[in-house]
Amino acid sequence: MFLYTKNFDEQKAKAMEGLRKALEAGKVDRDIITLLEKINSMENYFTTSSCSGRISVMEMPHFGDKVNSVWLGKWHREVSFEEVLGAIGRHRKGQLWFLVRSPILHVSARTMEDAVKLLNLTIGLGFKYSNIKSVSHKKLLVEIRSTERMDVPLGKNGELWVSNEYIARIVGIANSQVRRFKRKLKRLEEEVERLKS
């Protein structure tokens, strides 16, 4: 069966209007804008959401409770030990976590063939957790996701469980992960033109 997305062009126009507003409001990670432009310039694809990857320090009532969590620090780039310490210093209650999240993009495809082509390209470039997220006549959605991730508990209710030396070490590891996934994003930006052929 040749599966395709109904009303694809209408959906794309609506998504592009949303992206334009997000760009004007400064809500799009700067280092991923060129990649988004390249994907959205192609006839058979458009992006619906994106994050270029991040390092963060977060205060959570319970692990996984995103709704009631508070960002103490969030960076879409490499971060300094001092910046992380500054974020940790704002911790007062709940669990304190140091997190790394890899880039994630959601891309709508016109046909299943288009979706598979994009999926194969991204997996080949190291985005190993990429998948086809939704399959229907309403939506063919590819999730582009890499493997880099850290979930490190640092303390609770204002008490720090780890030393500054340990924090410096995990910051170093996190920065190496950021360098790695930013290189993957750059390669994807360079290779996405292949989808046109």
Q: Which domains does the chain have, with CATH numbers?
A: 8-196 (3.30.1960.10)
pLDDT tens digits, 71-91: 999 999 999 999 999 999 999
Max Cα separation, the chain? 58
pLDDT tens digits, 158-194: 999 999 999 999 999 999 999 999 999 999 999 998 7
Pairwise CA distance, residues 173 & 83, whole Å: 15
pLDDT tens digits, 113-130: 999 999 999 999 999 999
pTM of the model: 0.90
What count of Cα atoms within 13 Å lies in the side-chain half-sphere of residue 55? 21
**pLDDT higher than 90, residue 6:** no
**3-class SS at 165?**
helix
**pLDDT higher than 60, residue 1:** no
**pLDDT higher than 80, residue 5:** no
Cβ atoms of residues 135 and 112 within 8 Å: yes
Helix/strand/coil (H, E, C) string of 36-80?
A: HHHHHCCCCEEEEEEECCEEEEEEECCCCCCCCCEEEEEECCCCC
DSSP 8-state symbol, 25:
T
Give the dihedral sign, CA 103/71/151/173.
positive
pLDDT mean over 135-157: 94
Phi, psi of 125 (to 5 degrees): -95, 5
pLDDT tens digits, 17-73: 999 999 999 999 999 999 999 999 999 999 999 999 999 999 999 887 888 999 999
